[in-house]
């Protein structure tokens, strides 16, 4: 019999120490969002292949793990689509749209949903990128007001502060922009609507290639020099901060609904009063967010000093409504759970002091049934007081056994022989 010990390529076995960290972080996520009135929901790992290939998933649709129909015989010339009617979900957004469409009559409005679950992508495995990983998505469906923006951004900032303060990190930056301002700035510069997405893809590279790089890149793509000049000139005048949203909005006011900058002001002001003072809140006109389904406010959170975001999202008012044939304004945050866990592990996260006391009874094999009974009675008493107790046979190599227990937080380790007093 052939047996393979390693996990499937690109997937992980989690050790007890990994799980302690993961469960701890998940606990803080659940607990924080609960305080803001979010409720957990869950969908199956498998989705209909039609839903997974409906063009909402972008590049991820190329990475689907397809699942074979049961009992389907292979025939000559058959396409893979004919033998697979489902696949593993590659994100939690498509399943959320299906879930809401299926259950909307039994759900509160607005629905404030927390989803935690694994997703699968047949990506090329590399450091920090896995074929199975945990996603956390937090969404509000059915609230078109800016209260949704404020609640979501405040809750997420709070959650990150709680998690990272345990390793001494308190400085985050929340980047906020609005797809409507982004578009108005492009329109004001003279780009046409069909050019926006491509212009934004270039703008999105600002943090890597700088403003000069963006300019060069746009000119190389043969966009009119005048538009490129007018567009990049705006970014020269601002750095991301609380005020610059107003500048951007005023500059391109002729192309923008006047309510947008007012709403942005209220969002920024309200969030500012809800978050930790060490969290920086900035309007960032260069923030793009890749997915085309965003319709309004967009946001990302990064740890100061780290060169990537650990949470991102935005408002997507049209997508879910399209699936369920009724208006369903929506806004969501996706948390980079695996990134968070990796950072904490790298920073040598340890369980906080004040954890539960751990006692180990290591019982010699010759101790006899009466002594064993005594040990178990004692263990039961200590457990009733809330401590963690393990009862194990005393190994021949007790030194290694004891070291391992100590490494796992056992501070009270007792060897028990037939004549040991407990």
Q: Which residue has the tokens 């000139």?
A: 233
Q: Between residues 217 and 390, which has the closer beta carbon with respect to a copy of itself?
A: 390
Rounded to a whole number of angstroms, the minimum distance from the CB of residue 64 to a copy of itself is 9
User: Residue 29 or residue 288: which is nearer to a copy of itself going by CB?
Assistant: 29
The pairing of strands 111-120 and 132-141 is antiparallel
- How many whole angstroms separate alpha carbon 348 and alpha carbon 415? 31
Q: Which of 46, 275, 61, 26 is nearest to 150 (CA)?
A: 275
What DSSP string describes 243-268?
A: SHHHHHHHHTGGGS-THHHHHHHHHH
Residue 295 C-beta: closest distance to a copy of itself, Å:
18
Q: How far is the CB of 415 from a copy of itself (least distance, A)?
A: 14
Smallest distance, Å, CB 166 to a copy of itself?
A: 18
For a copy of itself, which is the closer residue by CB, 217 or 266?
266
CB of 191 to a copy of itself, least distance (A): 29
Q: How far is the CB of 288 from a copy of itself (least distance, A)?
A: 26
Closest CB to a copy of itself among residues 26, 219: 26
Q: Decide whether 61 or 229 has the Cβ nearer to a copy of itself.
A: 61
In whole angstroms, what separates CA 321 from the centre of its chain?
Answer: 23
Q: Which two tokens stand for residue 223?
A: 């966009």
Burial of 298 (0-12, 13-18, 19+ CB in 10 A): buried
Nearest Cα to Cα of residue 341 among 32, 20, 6 = 20
Answer for the pair 420, 371: CB distance below 8 angstroms, yes or no. yes
Residue 69, token pair as written in the block: 């129909």
Strands 84-88 vs 66-68: parallel, antiparallel or unpaired: antiparallel
Please report which residue ranges of 313-368 form alpha helices under DSSP H: 319-324, 337-346
Distance CA(150)–CA(148), nearest Å, equals 5
Residue closer to a copy of itself, measured from CB, 30 or 280: 30
Closest CA to 334 of 57, 135, 62, 59: 135
Which of residues 44 and 213 has its CB atom nearest to a copy of itself in the complex?
Answer: 44
- Total length of the chain: 422
Nearer to a copy of itself, 147 or 167 (CB): 147
Distance in Å, CB of 325 to a copy of itself, minimum = 10
> In the bound complex, what is the minimum distance in angstroms from residue 410's beta carbon to a copy of itself?
8
Q: Which pairing describes strands 412-416 and 358-363: parallel, antiparallel, or unpaired?
A: parallel
Sequence-ordered alpha helix ranges (H) in 165-258: 179-189, 196-203, 206-220, 225-236, 244-251
Residue located via tokens 């009733």: 384
CA atoms of 139 and 156, how far apart (whole Å): 11
Query: Is the CB of 208 or the CB of 366 nearer to a copy of itself?
Result: 366
Shortest Å, Cβ 145 to a copy of itself: 5
Q: State which residue, 119 or 184, has the beta carbon closest to a copy of itself.
A: 119
E strand spans, 146-192: 172-178
Minimum separation from the CB atom of position 93 to a copy of itself (A) = 14
Q: DSSP label at 418?
A: T
């Amino acid at each position: 019999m052939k047996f393979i010990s390693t996990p499937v390529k690109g997937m992980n076995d989690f050790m007890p120490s990994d799980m302690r960290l993961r469960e701890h972080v998940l606990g803080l996520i659940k607990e924080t969002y609960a305080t803001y009135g979010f409720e957990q929901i869950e969908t199956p790992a498998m989705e209909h292949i039609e839903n997974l290939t409906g063009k909402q998933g972008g590049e991820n649709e190329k990475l689907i793990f397809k699942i074979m129909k049961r009992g389907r015989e292979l025939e000559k010339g058959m396409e893979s689509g004919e033998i697979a009617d489902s696949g593993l979900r590659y994100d939690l957004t498509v399943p959320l749209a299906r879930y809401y469409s299926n259950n909307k009559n039994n759900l509160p409005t607005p629905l404030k949903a927390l989803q935690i679950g694994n997703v699968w992508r047949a990506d090329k495995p590399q450091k920090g990128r896995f074929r199975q990983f945990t996603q956390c998505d937090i969404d509000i469906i059915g609230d078109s007001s800016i209260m949704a923006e404020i609640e979501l951004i405040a809750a997420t900032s709070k959650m990150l502060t709680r998690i990272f303060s345990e390793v001494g990190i308190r400085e985050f930056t929340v980047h906020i922009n609005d797809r409507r301002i982004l578009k108005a700035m492009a329109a004001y510069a003279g780009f046409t609507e069909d050019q926006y997405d491509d212009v934004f893809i270039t703008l999105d590279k600002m943090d890597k290639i700088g403003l000069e790089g963006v300019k060069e890149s746009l000119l190389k793509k043969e966009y009119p020099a005048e538009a490129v000049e007018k567009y990049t000139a705006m970014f020269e005048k601002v750095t991301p901060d609380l005020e610059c949203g107003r500048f951007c909005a005023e500059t391109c006011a002729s192309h923008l609904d006047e309510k947008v900058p007012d709403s942005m002001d209220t969002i920024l002001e309200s969030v500012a009063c809800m978050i930790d003072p060490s969290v920086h809140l900035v309007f960032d006109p260069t923030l793009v967010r890749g997915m085309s389904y965003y319709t309004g406010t967009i946001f990302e959170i990064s740890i100061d000093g780290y060169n990537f975001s650990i949470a991102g999202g935005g408002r997507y008012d049209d997508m879910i409504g399209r699936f369920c044939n009724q208006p369903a304004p929506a806004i969501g945050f996706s948390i980079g759970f695996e990134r968070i866990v990796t950072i904490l592990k790298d920073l040598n996260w340890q369980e906080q002091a004040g954890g539960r006391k751990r006692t180990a009874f290591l019982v010699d094999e010759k101790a006899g049934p009466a002594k064993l009974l005594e040990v178990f009675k004692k263990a039961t008493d200590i457990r009733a007081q809330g401590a963690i107790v393990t009862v194990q046979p005393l190994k021949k190599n007790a030194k290694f056994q004891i070291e391992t227990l100590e490494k796992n937080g056992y501070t009270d380790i007792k060897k028990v022989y037939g004549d040991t007093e407990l």
